[in-house]
Structures are given as structure tokens and as C-alpha cells.
Amino acid sequence: MSEETKKIKLKVYRTNYKKEEPPHYDEFDVSVKRWTTVLDALLDAKSYSDSSLGIRYSCRMASCGSCGMKINGKPRLACYTKISELNDQTIVCDPLPSFPRIRDLVTDFTEFFAHHKKIEPYIHNDKVPIEVVNKDDLVEFKQTPEDVDKYLQFSYCIKCGLCYSACPTVATDTKFPGPQALSQTYRYMADTRDSGESTRLDIIDDRHGVWRCHFAGSCSNVCPKGVDPALGIQLLKGHLIGITKNDKKIATLRSKEE
Amino acid sequence: MPLLKLRESQIMKIHYLTGICAVFFVAIHILFRLIMPFGQSLEFHNVVANYHNMYYVILLELILVFISIHGFNGLRIILIELKQNQWWESTITILVLAAMIGVVAYGTRTIIIGSQL
């Protein structure tokens, strides 16, 4: 059964900072079907029109978070955005705002990952050895499904940077960690396996920390995984000023014998 | 300066509390205007009479303090987002604190003169 094909115009932002090439838009005519994604269209243009087109992508299924870009004015994942749902004959692709640009649609995530790394996004627990030499020393935590529910939503983050690029505070304040790092702070705070709450709260309770979020909510609006970073940030704020209490009990360990 | 070493969460706690208190006390202040026709409540002798009421004087002073703290901290937040370096942040914090103290001092002087304490 043949599916209806139509032509759309793909406008792609082009620049190469190393070659001092002035920024401009290149237009490509691409044939699309109902299920064609923006990434498919870009790869079509790259394959048949201009092989120098710079795109970053990997999994094509909204799991790796590599293909984030501004599509028709909104940060989205190119692999997760169908052209048919945009209802437009012209699709405009720009690099993600608030990220340093490298080439065409490829941006530099160094600062973004530095903010993420700064909040120590891993389980802190003194009872667990950092290096396990003897496999009999392996232990696991006891967590109830209710314990998991408290942080599960926030653990879906794929670090695609869409929330970071949509955040108006990130656009003006380079020291602001951004919604991704802040929501991950909450994710570990809510996790009963973690006991590093005070360390992380010290990091984010700063002049350029969590309090610079003015709750525009645009991070949650663009998140492709339904993480809702704005919720995590507000819960963190509530905890810091003592409105909400984090009454978690650190999960107990279960040895191999149990 | 210990005030400059407050944690941001402590400053924001003060910010939110002064904001809530300012709304509450300004509401009382507006209600005072409504106990008689609005134009009449602002006539010279009525305003002077207000200043001679000790409870009203305390109310005015509280409004002045709460709005100054809340407003100047809001201004500090806006200004420190403009540039991210230590010199700018410290300068802005000191200037805003000085301006806040200046406004509170001048307002308190006016209230004291008006109430003839």
C-alpha cells in the first residue's frame, strides 16, 4: 500500500565558526510521508543534496538525546518530531539556543555537562564500598515501589539539553546550573539510596543556584521525556526554605545471603 | 560583613516573608483609607491625625521596612543576573544594602517628624 508523499521545504541554519563562514539558511526540498521525522528529512537532505550538513544524532528513538535542535522556533528532538505534526510546509531548523555553536546544527555541550557533573549525579552512600574487590561483598538496596515512584519521573532525563536551551535564566546567567542539573539534584535527594543531600544542597544554594529559577516553566514545556524539571526545582526550593520536609529513610542494604 | 554571608535560601526566606507581610500590612493600610470617603481620608488634618495614632505609625514603619527589604532584594536579584563576576555581585549587594538602609532611615525620619514623637 503506497502512502501519500508530499514536498516540504527544509530551511537549515548553516555556519562553521572555524572557517568564519557567515551564518545563513540553506533550503532543501524534501519528499516526506506521514511518519517522516525531522531527522529523517535532514538525513535525506544530507544524503542527496548536501553531504556537508552538520547534524548530531545516534539512536533515532528519543533515547540518546543527541539530535536536539530548535525546530520551528521550539527546542525539540529531531528524531521525535514528525513533520506531519508541525502542520507547516516550511520546517526551520536552528541550533539549540544558549549553547555555543560548533557547526550548522551541532552545539557544544561542555558547559551543560559541567553543570550536571557539579551536582555529583551519583549515589552517595558511605555504607557502600566505592570499589568492590570481592564479589561476595556485593550488596543491594531494599527499596519499595513507593520509594522508587518518588524519583522515577526525574530519572527519565536523557540529558538532551532541550530544557537548558529553553530556560530564560540560562540565557542570561551563565553560572545558573539550569533545569537539568537542578532536577537531577532533586532526583538524588528523593532517592532513598542516597545520603548526599546536604552536599548537593550546599552546591545549589548559591547566588546563581536554584533561587534564580523564576518558574517560567518552559523547561517542562519542551521536555521530550515528561520529566517536568520545573516541578523538581520547586520541590527543591520548598525543601530549602523548610515548607516541605524530606523525611526519607536511607534504604537498608541487603547482602547476598538475604 | 555577616549580612553578605547569608545563604541564598536564608535571604529568599526573608524575601518571601517580607513579601507576604507587605501584602498583609498594605491591605490594612488600604482598609484605613476606606473607613471614610477616600478623598476625605487624604485631607491634611486626617493624614496628620493618622500620624498621631501610635498603631498607625507602627503600621507605616512596618510597611516601609518590609517593602524596602523585599523591593531592594528583588532589585539585587535582577542586577546580579546581568553579570557573573564576584566584583559585580559584591558591589551590587553592598550598594543595594546601602540604598535600602538609606530609604528606611529617610522614611523613618519622615514618620517620626510627622508623628511628632
Cell numbers linked to A219: 523547561
Residues A63 and A75 in one domain: yes
Of B8, B13, B82, the CB nearest to A206: B8
Whether A211 contacts chain B with CB within 8 A: yes
Instruction: Kindly report the average pLDDT of chain A as a whole number.
Output: 92
Residues A89 and A123 in one domain: no
CB contact under 8 A, A241 and B16: yes
pLDDT given for residue A126 in this prediction: 82
Shortest Cα distance, chain B CAs vs residue A173, angstroms:
5
pLDDT given for residue A48 in this prediction: 96
Of A174, A175, A205, the CB nearest to B9: A205
The rounded Cα A168 to chain-centroid distance in angstroms is 16
% of chain A residues with pLDDT over 90: 78
B5, with CB counted inside 10 A (0-12, 13-18, 19+), is: exposed
Name which of A241, A243, A244 to mutate to probe chain B: the one with the most chain B Cβ atoms within 10 A of its Cβ. A241
Entry field: residues in chain A: 258
A5, with CB counted inside 10 A (0-12, 13-18, 19+), is: exposed
Which among A136-150, A193-207, A239-253, B30-44 has the top mean pLDDT?
A193-207
B35, with CB counted inside 10 A (0-12, 13-18, 19+), is: exposed
Residue A255 pLDDT level (bands cut at 50, 70, 90): low
DSSP 3-state assignment of A69?
strand
Residues A115 and A103 in one domain: no
Q: How confident is the model over A80-128, as pLDDT tens digits?
A: 999 999 999 999 999 999 999 999 999 999 999 999 999 999 999 888 7
Average pLDDT rounded to a whole number, residues A40-44: 97
CB contact under 8 A, B82 and A172: yes
CB contact under 8 A, B89 and A211: no
Residues A138 and A89 in one domain: no
Average pLDDT rounded to a whole number, residues A130-155: 85
Cα(B117)–Cα(B115) distance, rounded to whole angstroms? 5
Residue A17 pLDDT level (bands cut at 50, 70, 90): confident
CATH number at residue A53: 3.10.20.30
CB contact under 8 A, B84 and A169: no
Whether A177 contacts chain B with CB within 8 A: no
Whether A173 contacts chain B with CB within 8 A: yes
Residues A239 and A144 in one domain: yes
For chains A and B, count residue pairs whose Cβ atoms are closer than 8 Å: 31
Residues A249 and A157 in one domain: yes
Number of domains in chain A: 2
Residues A18 and A103 in one domain: yes
Residues A125 and A241 in one domain: yes
CB contact under 8 A, A205 and B7: yes
Residue A258 pLDDT level (bands cut at 50, 70, 90): low
pLDDT given for residue B72 in this prediction: 98
Shortest Cα distance, chain B CAs vs residue A171, angstroms:
10
Cα(A222)–Cα(A178) distance, rounded to whole angstroms? 14
CB contact under 8 A, A207 and B8: yes
pLDDT given for residue A139 in this prediction: 76
Q: What are phi and psi of A75, to 5 degrees?
A: -65, 125
- Averaged over successive runs of 10 residues, the pLDDT of chain B (117 residues) comes to 76 96 95 84 86 92 97 96 91 95 97 87
**B86: chain A residues, CB-CB within 8 Å:** none
Residues A152 and A236 in one domain: yes
CB contact under 8 A, B81 and A205: no
Q: How far is CA A91 from CA A30, A45, A70, A85, B16, in A?
A: 10, 13, 10, 11, 44
- In chain A, the N- to C-terminal Cα span, in Å, equals 57
Answer yes or no: is A77 within a domain: yes
Shortest Cα distance, chain A CAs vs residue B59, angstroms:
27
pLDDT given for residue B87 in this prediction: 94
Q: How confident is the model over A147-192, as pLDDT tens digits?
A: 999 999 999 999 999 999 999 999 999 999 999 999 999 999 999 9
pLDDT given for residue B3 in this prediction: 55
Helix axes A178-189, A110-118, angle to 10 degrees: 20
Whether A203 contacts chain B with CB within 8 A: no
Residues A40 and A75 in one domain: yes
Answer yes or no: is A195 within a domain: yes
Name which of A182, A185, A204, A211 to mutate to probe chain B: the one with the most chain B Cβ atoms within 10 A of its Cβ. A211
Name which of B9, B82, B94 to mutate to probe chain A: the one with the most chain A Cβ atoms within 10 A of its Cβ. B9
pLDDT given for residue A138 in this prediction: 73
Sign of the alpha-carbon torsion through B87, B93, B94, B95? positive
pTM: 0.88
- Among A50, A78, A107, identify where a domain stops: A107
**A25 has a pLDDT exceeding 80:** yes
> How many CA atoms are closer than 13 Å to the CA of A194, on its beta-carbon side?
24
pLDDT given for residue B55 in this prediction: 92
Those of residues 226-255 in A touching chain B at CB distance below 8 A are 237, 240-242
Range of the domain at A59: 6-107
Residues A123 and A200 in one domain: yes
**From 1.10.3470, 2.60.40, 3.30.2400, 1.20.1300, which CATH number describes the B7-115 domain?**
1.20.1300
Cα(A132)–Cα(A135) distance, rounded to whole angstroms? 7
Answer yes or no: is A28 within a domain: yes
Q: How confident is the model over A217-236, as pLDDT tens digits?
A: 999 999 999 999 999 999 99
Answer yes or no: is A1 within a domain: no
Q: How confident is the model over B59-68, as pLDDT tens digits?
A: 999 999 999 9
Cell numbers linked to A46: 544530507
Shortest Cα distance, chain A CAs vs residue B101, angstroms:
21
CB contact under 8 A, B81 and A172: yes
Residue spans of the domains in chain B: they are: 7-115
CB contact burial A140-157 (16+ within 10 A = b; e otherwise): ebeeeeebeebbebbeeb
Residue A2 pLDDT level (bands cut at 50, 70, 90): low
Average pLDDT rounded to a whole number, residues A45-50: 96
- Among A107, A134, A159, identify where a domain stops: A107
Residues A88 and A116 in one domain: no
CB contact under 8 A, A207 and B80: yes
- Among A107, A126, A146, identify where a domain stops: A107
